[in-house]
């Protein structure tokens, strides 16, 4: 019995993007059934093919993280023949994703205006560091730098430590997700109008949007948020605590959960403390609250405490290693660790009608 077609079957994506943000968007769409053709430099290919060790075959594991389900073609876009080859592909494509500097593709006749003349239905997605206009538009954009410029690093890390980046290129990843969302919106719009469009995505814009509640905290108060380690600016207790054999996360979201936490810890006097009765009070007295809770947690084992908190309906969890994650029974059950074409990988988180959306082929070899 054949499986039903995936939601984006028949959608043709041309990817003139490298590293992570553009390829991440392409992989999301490939997992959903789109046909993604990746244009790479002859010989070297995408930079991330070389970002190892570790390697899987001849390509770095990093490359395999963002290029599942695609076909690769080697084209030198600096030559007239290469430019003609790209235009031929554009004529057959629904979407083009590129992450060259602003104006970079215009030098090769592959900018939006000229390719729109080849295919008026083309959805042209430009991913840059700072967008198509503005005083920084000509600058190159790098995830790490954008984490710093956006304020994300300033609110990440310990209060007495330096600004801290995320453990993954989170701005690139978010930009890829925003790009895939924008592409689907543009496809919907094209269904209505018959015309394509130019999507302008800037990493700096995305990183700023990721400030979420922290941005609103500033806009509402005029006070710039600061690093708080593992604590939460708006809720308490909502942080990592040390236990006898490691650490646990306790994420109390309301007053009832706080009282249940105190019941588990047999710390009635903390629950009844006038300053701790409401979340606002606990946030104002967070350091005193942490000092009061710490002795009750220090002699509990992680497994015992997590079991007791789960039974009491208090949100809590472990701080896992990556190895722990892939051995977690829930992750195993959900099938998040996959192997496609002999290459291990992490499945798409998208499940539609019980079917996980994962491309049926591994990352391509150069030019195949």
Q: What is the 3-state secondary structure (H, E, C) of 222-277?
A: CCCCCCCCCCCCCCCCEEEEEECCEEEEEECCCHHHHHHHHHHHCCHHHHCCHHHC
Distance between start and end Cα atoms, the chain: 29
Alpha carbon distances (Å) from 141 to 61, 102, 171, 284 = 23, 11, 11, 39
Q: How far apart are CA 364 and CA 67, in angstroms?
A: 7
Q: List all residues 6 or more positions away from 42 whose beta carbon is below 8 Å from its beta carbon.
A: 74, 75, 76, 367
| Vertex 260: Cα angle to 254 and 263 (nearest 5) | 150
Q: List all residues 6 or more positions away from 34 whose beta carbon is below 8 Å from its beta carbon.
A: 8, 9, 11, 12, 13, 95
Is 172 known to be catalytic?
Answer: yes
Annotated catalytic residue within 59, 94, 172, 205 = 172
Q: Which residues are catalytic?
A: 172
């Amino acid at each position: 019995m054949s499986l039903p077609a995936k939601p984006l079957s028949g959608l043709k994506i041309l990817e003139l993007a490298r590293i992570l943000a553009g390829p991440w968007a392409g992989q999301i769409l490939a997992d959903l059934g789109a046909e993604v053709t990746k244009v790479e430099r002859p010989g070297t290919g995408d930079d991330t093919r070389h970002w190892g060790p570790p390697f899987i075959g001849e390509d770095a594991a990093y490359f395999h993280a963002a290029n599942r389900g695609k076909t690769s073609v080697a084209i030198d876009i600096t030559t007239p023949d290469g430019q003609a080859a790209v235009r031929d592909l554009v004529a057959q494509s629904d979407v083009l994703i590129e992450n060259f500097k602003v104006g970079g593709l215009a030098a090769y006749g592959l900018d939006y205006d000229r390719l729109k003349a080849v295919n008026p239905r083309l959805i042209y997605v430009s991913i840059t560091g700072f967008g198509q206009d503005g005083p920084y538009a000509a600058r190159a954009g790098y995830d790490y730098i954008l984490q710093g410029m956006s304020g994300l690093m300033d609110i990440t890390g310990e209060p007495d430590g330096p600004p801290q980046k995320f453990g993954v290129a989170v701005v690139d990843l978010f930009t890829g997700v925003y790009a895939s969302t924008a592409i689907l919106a543009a496809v919907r719009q094209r269904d209505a109008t018959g015309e394509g469009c130019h999507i302008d995505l800037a990493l700096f814009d995305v990183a700023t949007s990721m400030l979420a509640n922290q941005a609103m905290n500033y806009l509402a108060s005029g006070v710039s948020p600061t690093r708080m380690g593992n604590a939460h600016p708006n809720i308490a207790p909502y942080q990592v605590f040390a236990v006898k054999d490691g650490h646990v996360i306790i994420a109390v979201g309301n007053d009832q959960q706080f009282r249940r936490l105190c019941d588990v810890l047999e710390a009635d006097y903390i629950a009844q403390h006038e300053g701790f009765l409401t979340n606002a009070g606990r946030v104002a007295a967070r350091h005193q609250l942490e000092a009061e809770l710490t002795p009750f947690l220090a002699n509990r084992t992680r497994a015992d405490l997590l079991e007791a908190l789960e039974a009491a309906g208090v949100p809590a969890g472990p701080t896992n290693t990556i190895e722990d994650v892939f051995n977690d029974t829930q992750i195993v059950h959900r099938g998040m660790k996959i192997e496609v074409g002999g290459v291990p990988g992490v499945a798409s988180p998208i499940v539609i009608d019980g079917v996980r959306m994962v491309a049926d082929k591994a990352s391509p070899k150069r030019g195949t």
